[in-house]
Chains A and B, each alone.
Chain A
Amino acid sequence: AQSVTQLDSHVSVSEGTPVLLRCNYSSSYSPSLFWYVQHPNKGLQLLLKYTSAATLVKGINGFEAEFKKSETSFHLTKPSAHMSDAAEYFCVVTFKYTGTASKLTFGTGTRLQVTL
């Protein structure tokens, strides 16, 4: 069985300050891990992915995440928040589902608020 825990349901930062969104996972297998972002009334956009290569993963829009196996964590960071980063962020773990389909296990989401 696998699960994802997003430790904060809501994070508020000032524009220009660092962002940290926390995620812990549990998986029986070597996991593939993702962060998705969802802006209001929009679909989910893939920010970055970890696939057992480099543990520090760089994504779009200046985001990055570090896979720490010893801590079972995959926290998302950004050095400087921008107003456009305000959105819902989902940490996701996946495994091979049926023969070739994948099944995503979502965290409960973290709403990021960015203030002036």
Chain B
Amino acid sequence: DAMVIQNPRYQVTQFGKPVTLSCSQTLNHNVMYWYQQKSSQAPKLLFHYYDKDFNNEADTPDNFQSRRPNTSFCFLDIRSPGLGDAAMYLCATSSGGRVPYEQYFGPGTRLTVT
């Protein structure tokens, strides 16, 4: 089945220690998104790629970076995690240019910062 895969499902890192989260997709979608979701809140968009074009949300901290080496993979890098970065990180994809623009989500990576 076509899907969005995130690894690892659970990640523990230390305060200030860089961490990378991974997302891959078999849907062949043009657009990939990264969201941060804190407890009992809706997901918050951090940035997205349309093909290789990177689009950052205005309020995304500089501490968060992303890479998309090819259509299938996208990475979220947190350069110096703080305690406030502990959250669920969700990757999503969509087929660009088509109505109704629904997004397909991966299972998420839960990040703990100690």
Chain A residues at the B interface, C-beta cutoff of 8 Å: 32, 34, 36, 41-46, 49-51, 90, 94-96, 98-104, 106-109
Q: With A34-B102, A100-B30, A101-B96 in contact, do A42 and B108 touch (Cβ < 8 Å)?
A: yes
- Other-chain contact of A96, B4, B55, B101, B105 (Cβ < 8 Å): B101
Distance from A8 Cβ to chain B, minimum over Cβ atoms (Å): 14
How far apart are the CA atoms of A94 and B106 in the complex, in Å? 19
- Other-chain contact of A102, B6, B90, B101, B108 (Cβ < 8 Å): B101
How far apart are the CA atoms of A42 and B4 in the complex, in Å? 12
8 contacts between A and B (CB under 8 A): A32-B99, A41-B110, A43-B105, A51-B100, A101-B48, A103-B45, A104-B45, A106-B43
Of A42, A44, A45, chain B has the most CB atoms within 10 Å of the CB of: A44
Distance from B68 Cβ to chain A, minimum over Cβ atoms (Å): 13
How far apart are the CA atoms of A95 and B99 in the complex, in Å? 9
* Nearest residue, chain B, Cβ from A33: B100
Contact A41 B100 (CB under 8 A): no
Contact B42 A101 (CB under 8 A): no
CB-CB < 8 A to B103: which residues of A?
Answer: 102, 104
Of A34, A41, A42, A43, chain B has the most CB atoms within 10 Å of the CB of: A43
A-B contact count (CB 8 A): 71
CB-CB < 8 A to A104: which residues of B?
Answer: 43, 45, 103
Tell me if B107 counts as interface (CB < 8 A to partner A): yes
Contact with A along B29-59 (1 / 0, CB 8 A): 0110100000011110100101000010000
Contact A102 B94 (CB under 8 A): yes
Of B42, B88, B97, chain A has the most CB atoms within 10 Å of the CB of: B42
Contact B107 A42 (CB under 8 A): yes
